[in-house]
Each structure stands twice: as structure tokens, then as C-alpha cells.
Amino acid sequence: MANSKRAASTPTAKGSKPATETSTLNPLLAAWIGPYEIPPFGEIKHEHFRPAFDTALARHEEEIASIAGSKAKPTFANTIEALELAGKLLSRVGGVFWNRSGAHTDDKIQAIEREMAPRMAAHRNAITSNTELFARIADLHRRRETLKLTAEQARVLERTYRSFVRAGAKLDTAKKARMGEIKQRLAVLGTAFAQNVLADERSYELPLPTKADRAGLPDFLVSAAAGAAKERGSKASHVITLSRSLIEPFLTLSERRDLREQAWKAWIKRGENGGDTDNWKIVAETLALRDEQAKLLGFKTYAAFKLDDTMARTPAAVMKLLDKVWKRARAKALVERDMLQRQAAKEGSNIAIEPWDWRHYAEKVRHAEFAIDEAEIKPYLALDNVLAAAFATAERLFGLRFCEVHGLQLLHPDVRAFEVMDAKGKHVGLFLGDYFARPSKRSGAWMSAYRSQQRLGGDIRPIINNTCNFAKAPDGQPTLLSFDDARTLFHEFGHALHGLLSNVKYPSLAGTAVSRDFVELPSQLYEHWLTQPALLEEFALHHETGEPMPRTLLDKIKAAATFNQGFATTEFLASAIVDMDFHATPTGGDPKTREAETLARIGLPREIVMRHRTPHFAHAFSGDGYSAGYYSYMWSAVLDADAFAAFQETGDIFNPKVADRLRKYVYAAGGSRDEREAYTGFRGRLPTVDGLLKVRGLDKAA
């Protein structure tokens, strides 16, 4: 997942002066003079955040007032560039805090988060509602053809103007006030939603005290369960938590059907357990407020509003894609279900396949069909080796080199730092990897930035962070990844490269500042290299013997590449369609009922559940980043299947000419080009859905 709106969007200038006379007492406000100008994590205390936000917000307000109140005629420099340079201190403070709140939170941090979310929403709304400021932007926009702007400057002006209009800058006073109230309330609701999900995840554990409880679990999972128990200070010797890297292998490999059912039900019930952490009322209010927001701006639905600024453009275009893939995916999923049912019967189990059985029997069918299982693959996927493979891919494609840096004070002892250099040894940026699950970290995986690239005001180099939730091995043992975990690492690293390779002048265009249905292209495309035999033969080494993964196993992995894709695509699409239905149709009614009605309408098989059920659908409800936008993973999948084919067509998956185009038009361009123009610049044309269907084995589905 790409960096959220909470990630730092504007870097701090090298050699910047202390913000206030008290800067020496507050490390968030002082100049950061350590290695790579990283935040001084070891010095930052809880009590520093509130005063730092107070100072940074006041500073930004002064900067905005100066721009808006200028008596000089609006120019690109005194208005747009001034806006681009404003708010550095706030971005710096916010970048540290929001990364901390997602990856290493506690009660004090969550209290500050609840306070700051609506304050930040009000602050942003005050800027976009500033009549004098918007008048200057609008004046420049009207005269844009006469300003002799570069292509990048024209893009910044257009996006700035558009962002103000979409935020309500053209509304009358009363409607602006109501828009501000809506945004502040949505910020409160989104924060509460995320904290409720985390609370449910932190409070649950499934103890496995006996060998009988651990029946079927391979050594790596037993070790991970022991590590999770130790991390949580549990009374049990082994526990399964709701971290995806623990619960999915447990549901896959455990022979205890009763325990699989318990764990699965806890997993899908996050956010709907009643009491203070139940999210259904939050969802209902969020949907109503979003609908009102869209109508204030002149759109029929919230989905129409959100999609107006994307590649898809309209809900109809999204649903056309989702419907086409859904029919094929559902048909294949039903075939897969029947295979699982036959496998259970073959073993003498007189059961009807339930959702907590799917992964378990799918693994058995995979073993029977392809003579392959997760326990056979995992010893070859040590975390360090998979990370080395991701680095090597970046070197072969883009000439980047990664050198681990030790001795830095970072957010958490588990975080690792790597200096990134180009082929000539020039510093590109700093990459941070935070890979292990812990109770203080929200679930999922994401990329964020402590500092983004820009050339306005100097050559500012990025500090990019990847956060994952892999189950950490006990001390002295290597952490072994599932193939899905390894794919997640490559996915998030693709996002990281989008930030590291960014080569733009203006910070608002840097890195992942692209439309939501384009932002997943660099990440999903990068996943393709993980599955290539040339890479696996070199880096998939047995953690004990050092022997490379046998070619026979590689062939099995390739042969099984489309296995269970009916299930995987269907569970994803169920979430994407529910998200779209929520936001593309009139609001009202109980969202739990609406979720059920949508799933009944599309015919979701009883044995499959949405990948993210609504009460814990953080993509859609812990903020607005992927609201009416979860489809974007599928939209980008159409792009990435076609993009990787550009390499395959040359016979060289590291073809330098194709890689150069990919870097220029996708990874380095940020938001400096229209996304359709960017993709066409790389590929020469826009793609069709056919490549995606082929990659997922759905091209022959009924």
C-alpha cells in the first residue's frame, strides 16, 4: 500500500535553522544534523509532539497568511512555489508522528492522534477555504497559457487549482463552513476506526499450549507462535495472533478444525465485537458524511467525486472492469471449491467446506496437484535473502546499490537502515525497513516517507520507509517468509522505489503523488520479478544448507502460479465491489445489511469471505485514501500485467532500454505527467484487461 496522507509530503531543507528559541529543548523543532539528517528518534519523547505541532501549525499559518495577503501581483514564484515551500516544519513533525502512530503506538500516542486528526483537518480546510489565497491561484490558472511555464510548472499549477476546487474553494461561506465540519468529523471517525481495529487485534490471541493444539504446524510456525507469545508477554507458550503472517499459515496448516474456526471467526470479526471498539456506527456516519461532502461539491455520489480525479474517471468504468473479472473469477472459484470438497471426502472428512477450511484444503490440493506445499518453500525464503533479491532487482533495472547502515537511532530496534546509491556512488536516499509484527503496530503493510524528494530550494534526498508485519523468528533463528510474505516485501519495495527514484522539482509531485489507480503500478509490477526463476535460483537459498532452491521446485512454483486464483481474486473483488457499492449508490440504511445485500447480489460463494470485511476495512474507512478506491489494485493489475510483458517481449526481464523507459515515465516521474500520458510514454499505448486475465489463469474460465 502506498504512503498515506499522513506521510511527510514536504522535506526539511538541509541546514535549516531552529524553529524557535525552545528548539534545543524539543528535538522535533531543532535542526536535524545527524547522519542523513534523519529524525533524532532517540531524543523524541511523547511530551514533545503536542508543542511541536503547536509551533509547526502556527508557522504554517503565518506562511499561508503571508502568501495570501501579498499585495504583489500573483506570479508562479510568489504564489505556487511559495505554497510548495510552505509547511516544511509541519510536514517534518507530522512525518515522524504519523509514522510512529502507525508502526509503534501506545495509549499516549493514540490520545495525541485523536486530538491532532481533527486539528490537522481543520488546518487543511482553512487553507483551501482561504478566499484571498484561492483568488491568487485562480488568477494564475486563468492566465496559465500566457505564463510561459515549463511542463512541470503547468502540472503543479493545474493540480493545485484542482485540489482547491475539490476541497470546496468555490463554495459559498455557509457551505465552506459545513465542509470544514464534515472534514473534521471524518478525521475523528477515521482515527477511531483504525484504533478500534488495532484494539481488537491486540486483545486477541489463540493459545496453543499442547502439542495436540499445534497438530500439523511445521517448525517455522511453531517457532513463530512461540515468538508471538514472548513478544506479547503471554501466559501461554505459543499463541496465534490476528497478524496476517501468523493467522493465514495457521488456517492453512493446522489440522485442528475447531481451532481454525475459532481463529477465523476472530479474524473476520475485528471491528464488530460490540462495545467501544465496534465500527458499524462509524461506517454508517462516515458514509453519510462522504455523501454530503460529494453533494456539496456538485457530484451525485461520493464515488463520482473520488473517481473524477483518477484514470478510471467514472464508477461505470470501474464496475465494467470489476464485473468482467468477477464473472471469470467466481466461476473459477466454484471449480476450486468443488476440488476442495472432493479432497475432504477423499480423506474421509464428512464435512461441507467452510471458510475456515478453504486455505487448509487448498494447500492439500496444491500438494496433490503440484507436489508442492508451503512448508517446502519457506526454508528457501529467509527474510535477508528475499530483501537481497529485491535490492538486486533494483540494481539490475535501475543501477541502484543498497548498503546497510548500522549505529543509527531509529523508530524501533527492529528497523534497519540502508543507504541507497546510484551506479556512480552518488547518494540517492535512505531506505528504512521495519518488517516484524508487534502489538504496537497496526496490521498490514505500507510505504511511507519521513522526507520526500524535491529540487525546489535545493537537492533534497528522500528518506523512505517500508513497514510490514512478518512473524519474527525467535532469537538466533532466521525469519522465514511464505511466498505471499515475500510478494508483500517486493510489493512494498516497489512503492519505496517510487519514492527513492522520484526526480521532480516540486514536492507536491514527488514519488507516489499520483492518482490512486496508478499508484499501485510500480508496486504490483515489481512483484513480477520475484517469480522469475533467474532470481529465485540466485537468492532462494536454503537457510540451513545454503543450497539454491531446486529447479524442480522452481518448476512446481511456476506451474502452480495460477492455482487458487479464483479464490484470491474473488475475495479481493468482493471487497472492491462492496466499497464501490457503498460509495456509488445513495446512502442510508444499515451498512451491515447493505454489505450482505451486495454480496448476495453478486453471488459471493458461501465458502469465501471478503478479503477485508467492512468493520475492519481500513483501506476504505480509516481515512479516505482508498475509499471508493480499493478497485485501484485491480486497475493497476491491468497495467502491471501489460507492463511486465514489455520486458518479456524482449526476452530479457532486465532489458535496459525498457527499464530506462520505466524509470523515466513511471518511477521517476511522480505526478509530473498525466497518468495515461505516463503509461503511454512507457508502453506506447494503453493496456487491455486480457493480460491480467492470462496472468491469473482466468482467460479460460467460464
pLDDT of 699 reads 84
- The rounded distance, in Å, linking the Cα atoms of 662 and 668 is 8
The confidence score (pLDDT) of residue 24 equals 59
What does residue 407 show for φ and ψ, rounded to 5 degrees? 90, 0
The predicted model gives 636-644 an average pLDDT of 96
Whether residue 524 contacts residue 491, with contact meaning beta carbons closer than 8 Å, is answered with: yes
Residue 373 is predicted with a pLDDT of 85
Residues in Cβ contact with 698 at an 8 Å cutoff, skipping those fewer than 6 apart: 325, 328, 329, 332, 565, 566, 569, 692
Inter-residue contact 251 to 239 (CB < 8 Å)? no
Alpha-carbon distance of 94 to 607, in angstroms, equals 42
The predicted model gives 677-700 an average pLDDT of 93
Q: Which residue has the higher pLDDT, 702 or 255?
A: 255
Which cell goes with 424?
A: 556512480
Distance CA 214, CA 254 (A): 7
Flag whether pLDDT at 23 surpasses 70. no
Lookup result for grid cell 519457506: 378
Identify whether 492 is a catalytic site residue: yes
In the block, which residue shows the cell 546510484? Answer: 422
- What type of residue sits at position 413? P
Three cell numbers at 344? 475432504
Q: How distant, in Å, are the alpha carbons of 332, 337, 342 from that of 566?
A: 5, 9, 17
| Predicted pLDDT at 701 | 53
CATH code of domain 393-529: 3.40.390.10
Q: What's the pLDDT at 304?
A: 97
Residues 6+ apart with CB under 8 A from 526: 390, 393, 490, 491, 493, 494, 497
pLDDT at 21: 41
d(CA 492, CA 523): 6
Reported as a single tens digit per residue, the pLDDT across 434-448 is: 999 999 999 999 999
For residues 580 and 516, what is the distance between their CA atoms, to the nearest angstrom? 14
What is the Cα–Cα distance from 695 to 594, expressed in whole angstroms? 32
Note the helical H segments in 234-301.
Answer: 244-253, 257-268, 280-296
**Spatial separation of the C-alpha atoms in residues 663 and 282, rounded to whole Å:** 41
Tell me which of 14-28, 91-105, 228-242 is least confident. Answer: 14-28
Torsional class of 149: left (φ above 0), alpha (ψ -120 to 50), beta (otherwise): beta
Cβ contact 512:262 at 8 Å: no
> Does residue 665 contact residue 547 with C-beta atoms inside 8 Å?
no
The pLDDT > 90 percentage for the chain reads 93
Residues 6+ apart with CB under 8 A from 269: 200, 615
**Burial annotation 506-524 (CB, 10 A radius, 16+ → b, else e):** bbbbbbbbbbbbbbbbbbb
Mean pLDDT of all residues belonging to the chain: 94
Alpha carbon separation from 248 to 192, 196, 230, 251, 363 (Å, rounded): 26, 21, 20, 5, 11
- Confidence at 25, pLDDT banded by 50, 70, 90: confident
Does 32 have pLDDT greater than 60? yes
Q: Where are the domains of the chain?
A: 23-128+130-166, 204-269, 393-529
What DSSP designation does 25 have?
G
pLDDT at 300 (0 to 100): 96
Once rounded to an integer, what is the mean pLDDT over residues 585-599?
91
Identify residue 331 by its one-letter amino acid code: A
Q: Write down the pLDDT at residue 593.
A: 96
589 confidence band (pLDDT: 50, 70, 90): confident
Percent of the chain past pLDDT 70, that is, above it, reads 96
Q: Are 179 and 296 in contact (CB under 8 A)?
A: yes
CB atoms within 10 A of CB 694: 14
CA atoms of 243 and 298, how far apart (whole Å): 41
Options 63, 492, 607, 675, the catalytic residue: 492
Query: Amino acid identity, residue 492?
Result: E
> What value does the mean pLDDT take over residues 615-623?
96
Here the cell at position 484 is 505471499
Helix (H) and strand (E) counts for the chain?
A: 28, 7
Query: In this predicted model, what pLDDT tens digit does every residue of 172-199 receive, in sequence order?
Result: 999 999 999 999 999 999 999 999 999 9
Helix (H) or strand (E) holding 68: helix 46-68
Confidence of residue 20 (pLDDT cuts 50, 70, 90): very low
> What is the pLDDT, as a whole number, of residue 349?
93
Beta-strand ranges (E) seen in 155-261 are 206-207, 239-240
pLDDT at 383 over 70: yes
Q: Alpha-carbon distance 59 to 90, whole Å?
A: 8
Q: At residue 293, what is the residue type?
A: Q
- Is 50 exceeded by the pLDDT of residue 505? yes
In degrees and rounded to multiples of 5, residue 555 shows phi and psi of -65, -35
Q: Could you count the other beta carbons within 10 Å of the beta carbon of residue 94?
A: 25
Yes or no: say if 494 and 523 are a contact pair by the CB < 8 Å rule: yes
Closest CA to 57 of 25, 32, 91: 91
DSSP three-state, residue 312: coil
Three-state SS at 584: helix
| pLDDT of residue 685 exceeding 70 | yes
> How far is residue 318's CA from residue 301's CA, in Å, rounded to a whole number?
14
Could you give the count of Cα atoms lying within 13 Å of 536 in the half-sphere of its Cβ? 25
Whether 360 and 251 have beta carbons less than 8 Å apart is answered as yes
**Distance (Å, rounded) from C-alpha 148 to C-alpha 21?**
42
Q: How far is CA 640 from the centre of its chain?
A: 16
SS3 56: helix
pLDDT of residue 700: 74
326: exposed, middle or buried (Cβ count in 10 Å: 0-12, 13-18, 19+)? buried
Output the pLDDT for position 18: 43
C-alpha cell at 370: 503440484
Average pLDDT over every residue of 515-528: 97
459-475: burial string, b at 16+ Cβ within 10 Å, e else: ebbbbbbbbbbbbbbee
Q: Nearest Cα to 452, choosing from 119, 2, 7, 6?
A: 7
Beta-carbon count within 10 A of 458 CB: 11
Residue 3 DSSP one-character state: -
pTM score of the predicted model: 0.94
Q: Is the pLDDT of residue 11 over 90?
A: no
pLDDT over threshold 60, residue 422: yes
CATH architecture observed for domain 23-128+130-166: Up-down Bundle (1.20)
